[in-house]
Structure 1
Amino acid sequence: GETRQTDHRGTTSNSRNSEHLCAVFRQELSPNAGFLTGEEALETSLTTMTNDGEMSDDTFSHDSQDFQENYDTFAIEEASRRSTELKPSVKKALLRFRIKLQDAILGNYIYGRPPTFVYGIDFKGSSEDISIDSMELREDIRDISLWGIPLLPSKGHEGTDVILLKFLQAKDFKVNEAFEMLRKTLKWRKEFKVDKILDEIIASELEGMTYMDSTDRGGHPVCYMIYGAFKDNDLFRKAFGSEEKSKEFLRWRIQIMEKNIQALGFKSGGANSIVQITDLKNSPGPGTKDMRVTSKKAYMLLQENYPELIYKNILVNVPFWYYAYHSVSTRLLTQRMKSKFIFARPSKVTKTLLKFIPPENLPVQYGGLKRENDDEFPPEYPVLETIVNPGCIDSIQVPIPEPGVTVVWDLTVVRLDVSYKEEFVPDDDCSYRIPIQMEKKMSGSVRNSFYISEPGMILLTIDNSTFKKKKVLYRLKIKPTVPMYIQLK
């Protein structure tokens, strides 16, 4: 399509270090080699590196600029790439974490039990005193996994490092704190029986309040939660009417998170976190104490047990009262967790979401072009863009030189507040213009079609009488069509 605009008024060192560190770690955790304890392995690797003159322990100081650069949002995503692409400071933290975790799993103290024996050596007696029950427990722990990914580093699964990096990032790459966080997460999952939660039917009345729909610009799965459903008093009482109901809601929220995680591959270099969009349109006001308390507990559980699994937490249709409520309910969250929140008032929902989600993936109710169960526009049809300047009329022209086809189009205007009309203009001067859609104020995304019976042009006109520029997003499709009267004949 073409556009026409008129004015209303008529006018190399780090690479070697990284490869060396990987080689040392592969040798230490080789299944065919004798296992070292974590401290022995770490001491060996660091001593070797220092003796080679390549590195010293000072290289990996947490106060160094090299280490601090890994704290931004981009680094959180990029740090899940292959270990050879990590900076030396991050790689050392990951090495320490892997060795510490290997010790804890093989030593049977990952859940917090005291390390009475490690690698078959009983520190309270001889190795012959190890019971059969303990050996069976050891075998079970060797197969321990998180979100379907084995945690034992020596198994060599690529997703293991992706998960460990998430715990490291949540704790600013402090290995001991990351290890304790992982251990508490595993213990909580056993107590909360999270591994069985996907098979449960929880709060069936809340079905439809949340759904997954496509991905953002970076490939992150997008989950939508519709809190406006709680405007229904009966539904609100079913969800928060008692302490038991609030606990059930909390368990439902964890189940939703676990379902969302199923869409993640935990692959090196992949999008290993989700975008959470919470729609607060028509949601209950600040006086709902039960909902406020339960939401606060949910935030804390997600922070403590699902580190770096939420890429962005976008709240849309945010009422004024929510800002004060949010600042109180999230005051115990870490700064890293708080930085993931993005707020959009009703007038800026589409503009905000399009920063993260391409228009072909954004549902029409949020100003995008995606329709439910729709296969009219496959991914190969690009979304085009034009700008309508303040006080101007912009016309998208679609010339059709041959008849016998149907033109289909999608169109949306960011922040609306414009008038819009559609018409067909024949090439024959003796023919009349055919109005397809009379001019009216736009209220949302538009889809329409028109059968071409003679050569001409589809004209889509946007009248911007405001004082701000308007972005128009649209896509077109032309398909051969047999007229209905011929089919009937």
Structure 2
Amino acid sequence: MAEAAGVASLRSMLDQKAPHYNSNQRSYCTDYTLKRYLHARKFDVAKAFNMLTATLAWRKDFDVESISMLKVRGNGETGKVVVRGADREGRPILFLRPGQENSKDDHDGNLKHLVYELERAVACMDELRGVGKMLVILDLQHYSMSNAPPMKTSRATLHILQDHYPERLAKFLIIDAPWLFQGFFKIISPFIDKETAAKLVFVNGKTAEAKREVLSKFVELNRLPKSIYGDLGDEEFFTADEYFRF
């Protein structure tokens, strides 16, 4: 099915339910959004419709539009999830740094913080210019049992990324995965769809220079902090007061 025809069919199905949607739900359903859901479901309009309506219901129940920096600053104080800079294709970069965990047992708060940062990344995109995806960098230095997220939170995170932000992921770089994470990855990998799995890149070179070489293919090193093999001072990369300023 041609993309335009798919969008028209999906729009027609949505229009039948439009009276039940609030203004936020209706404004979410741009043509770009419809295209993403169609691509995610290989242009099966019925499946795309089911996926999109599930997202609309989730966004309403999760109250996505009301999540503000004031509500998430406590969880984000250490910079464990940060949107900072752009990759070589101009796509925003979402950094996940579990070694900076400060609220491991706050399941709901951590998910709200994640969604806030995902929405922040989306706000940095420019779909008119072809920038509709993000680069995700998972920094696993200092990853341990004490800061590893509970399985419940990990599965919820994966569900949100795959089911409610489809076609938003360009690449997912995993840096310095320790043996502990490899065991965790084996447990969670059955829940990762094939399209997402194909975008994973493990950065585990034997030397710092080897890792820098891999990372530089995706992002200029002056956009990465020194703590993850870049050239940017760590305080230049993130301070809570600067990041969450009003």
Q: How does 1:87-98 map to 2 (within 5 A)?
A: 89=1, 92-98=2-8
**Alpha-carbon shift at residue 144 of structure 1 (Å):** 1.1
Aligned-partner Cα distance in 2 for 1:143–1:255: 17
For 1:248, the equivalent position in structure 2 comes to 109
Q: Does 1:211 align with 2:70?
A: no
Deviation per CA, 1:279-334, whole angstroms, max 9, x where unpaired? Answer: 1111123x878623311211112111000112111111211232231121131221
Q: Does 1:355 align with 2:240?
A: no
Percent identity between the aligned chains?
A: 22
Q: How many residues align?
A: 232
Q: Does 1:220 align with 2:82?
A: no
Aligned-partner Cα distance in 2 for 1:361–1:289: 26
More helix by share: 2
Q: Does 1:144 align with 2:26?
A: yes
RMSD value, Cα: 2.7
If you compute each CA radius of gyration, which structure gives the higher value, 1 or 2?
Answer: 1
Do the aligned partners of 1:198 and 1:259 also contact (CA within 8 Å) in 2? no
**Alpha-carbon shift at residue 139 of structure 1 (Å):** 9.4
Give the SS at the match of 1:224: strand
Give the SS at the match of 1:264: coil
Do the aligned partners of 2:141 and 2:176 also contact (CA within 8 Å) in 1? yes
Q: Does 1:263 align with 2:134?
A: no
Aligned-partner Cα distance in 2 for 1:346–1:280: 14
Q: Does 1:326 align with 2:168?
A: no
1:315 to 165, 171, 174: 174
Aligned-partner Cα distance in 1 for 2:211–2:151: 23
Matched to 1:317, the amino acid is D
Matched to 1:279, the amino acid is D
Pair 1:248–1:213, CA change in 2 (3 A): closer
Aligned-partner Cα distance in 2 for 1:98–1:210: 37
More strand by share: 1
For 2:14, the equivalent position in structure 1 comes to 104
Matched to 2:90, the amino acid is G
Q: Does 1:301 align with 2:144?
A: no
Do the aligned partners of 2:40 and 2:167 also contact (CA within 8 Å) in 1? yes
Matched to 1:98, the amino acid is A
Do the aligned partners of 2:6 and 2:43 also contact (CA within 8 Å) in 1? no
Do the aligned partners of 2:83 and 2:117 also contact (CA within 8 Å) in 1? no
Give the SS at the match of 1:167: helix
Pair 1:259–1:211, CA change in 2 (3 A): same
* TM-score, normalised with respect to structure 2: 0.82
Give the SS at the match of 1:276: strand
Instruction: Could you tell me which runs of 5 or more consecutive residues in structure 2 were left unpaired when the two chains were aligned.
Output: 238-246
Instruction: Could you tell me which runs of 5 or more consecutive residues in structure 1 were left unpaired when the two chains were aligned.
Output: 1-88, 111-136, 152-159, 375-489
Matched to 1:276, the amino acid is V
**Using CA pairs below 8 Å that are at least 6 residues apart, which structure has the higher relative contact order?**
2
Deviation per CA, 1:361-417, whole angstroms, max 9, x where unpaired? Answer: 33333333344659xxxxxxxxxxxxxxxxxxxxxxxxxxxxxxxxxxxxxxxxxxx
1:369 to 208, 227, 231: 231
Aligned-partner Cα distance in 1 for 2:83–2:54: 29
Do the aligned partners of 1:276 and 1:314 also contact (CA within 8 Å) in 2? yes
Do the aligned partners of 2:81 and 2:114 also contact (CA within 8 Å) in 1? no
Q: How does 1:69-468 map to 2 (within 5 A)?
A: 89=1, 92-105=2-15, 107=16, 109-110=17-18, 137=19, 144-146=26-28, 151=29, 160-198=30-68, 200-202=70-72, 204-207=74-77, 208-230=79-101, 235=102, 238-240=103-105, 245-267=106-128, 269-285=129-145, 291-345=150-204, 347=206, 348-371=210-233, 373=236
